[in-house]
Amino acid sequence: MPELAEVEYFRKRWDPGLGRRVTEVRLPRATRPTRGLTAAKLHAALEGRRLRASFAAAKQMAFRFEGGIWLGIHLGMTGRTECVGAEGTPPHEALSLLMSGGRRLVFADPRQFGRVRLWMGPGEPDWWSAIAPAVLSDAFTEEAVAEFLRRRARSPIKAVLLMQERFPGVGNWMADEVLWRAGFHPRAKAGAFGPVSVRRLHATLREVCADALRVIGKDWSDPPDGWLFNHRWEDGGVCPRTRAPLRRAEVGGRTACWSPARQRLGAERR
DNA sequence: ATTCTTGTTGCATC
DNA sequence: AGATGCAACAAGAA
């Protein structure tokens, strides 16, 4: 589930821990997301440290503690964060931090595709600074998109939009939403996008990222009914703009949903 | 019981 | 060398 805006939402769920000290680290079982980390290692690094700041970028979160300690969390497919009382033990807990003041910051991940990282030192960890420039940043230019599409010329555009090295934070639903709003078929070849189509794609990417952060990133409000988001999973779903039936099929190894009435192959020419 | 899944990685192949 | 496609990871939900 967690893409750009959901990650921003989950980042904020640990806000009650800001300024608080870590008093205890709990790793209930050796789960995949924590890999080689142990409770002892985490405790040695974090005990007594105050949580100073948190960041979200792409599909990752970083929590910075006193002393240059960084805790990185990738939510994978089913990860989530929450803040509970000291006694709480949510199901599928992979890691939690008991904080001064008596609250517990929890990372839970039933399907265990998430990832927890620990880093200490001056500056930023590599896994943080290596994240590609945000879609909403000045560095995300039309030329960068055009160049990337040229290199992936034979791949379907849907698959290309899922590549984090250029479209950080875009996941399955956001890619479908972008293509639907912009009127491009998910199977259109990336190489077929000329300057006019690239411009349209670039603008729509920015629009969807901004909308998602405003609605879902803020407080997980329900997206407006006019978004594809609300219709893409229901069987017999209907395009909110044309009222024509939506189609679903696998594209680039993932389920894609589109509106045949307004997303035709060939529209990406020029 | 079977099939589905909003992510990423590593490997085989082109 | 770089691009492309796909299985694998794991477990809950429908």
CATH of A142-258, one of 1.10.10.10, 1.10.3210.50, 2.40.50.140, 1.10.8.50: 1.10.8.50
What count of residues does chain A have? Answer: 270
Q: What is the pLDDT of residue A194?
A: 96
Nucleotide nearest the Cα atom of A79 (by C1'): B7
Residue whose entry in the numeric block shows the structure tokens 């409000």: A221
CATH of A4-129, one of 3.40.50.2000, 2.115.10.20, 3.20.190.10, 3.90.340.10: 3.20.190.10
Q: What are phi and psi of A251, to 5 degrees?
A: -135, 125
Of A268, A224, A218, A239, nearest in space to A8 by CA: A218
Q: With bands split at pLDDT 50, 70 and 90, how would you rate the model's confidence at A219?
A: confident
Under a CB-based contact definition with an 8 Å cutoff, are residues A135 and A212 in contact? no
Question: Is A3 among the residues known to form the active site?
Answer: yes
Domain with CATH 1.10.8.50 in chain A: 142-258
Under a CB-based contact definition with an 8 Å cutoff, are residues A94 and A31 in contact? yes
Q: What are phi and psi of A255, to 5 degrees?
A: -70, 125
**Which nucleotides of strand C lie under 7 Å from a protein CB?**
2-7, 9-12
d(Cα A260, Cα A99) in Å, to the nearest integer? Answer: 51
Least reliable range by pLDDT among A1-5, A248-252, A261-265: A1-5
Instruction: Cite the beta strand spans of A101-213 per DSSP E.
Output: 103-108, 115-120
Under a CB-based contact definition with an 8 Å cutoff, are residues A268 and A184 in contact? yes
Q: What is the pLDDT of residue A149?
A: 97
d(Cα A44, Cα A72) in Å, to the nearest integer? Answer: 16
Chain A residues 163 to 192 whose Cβ lies within 7 Å of strand C are 190
- Can you give the distance from the CA of residue A191 to the C1' of nucleotide B6 in angstroms? 26
pLDDT single digits (tens) A163-206: 999 999 999 999 999 999 999 999 999 999 999 999 999 999 99
Per-residue b or e along A182-191, where b marks 16 or more CB atoms closer than 10 Å to that residue's CB: bbbbbbbbbb
Burial class (CB in 10 A: 0-12, 13-18, 19+), A3: buried
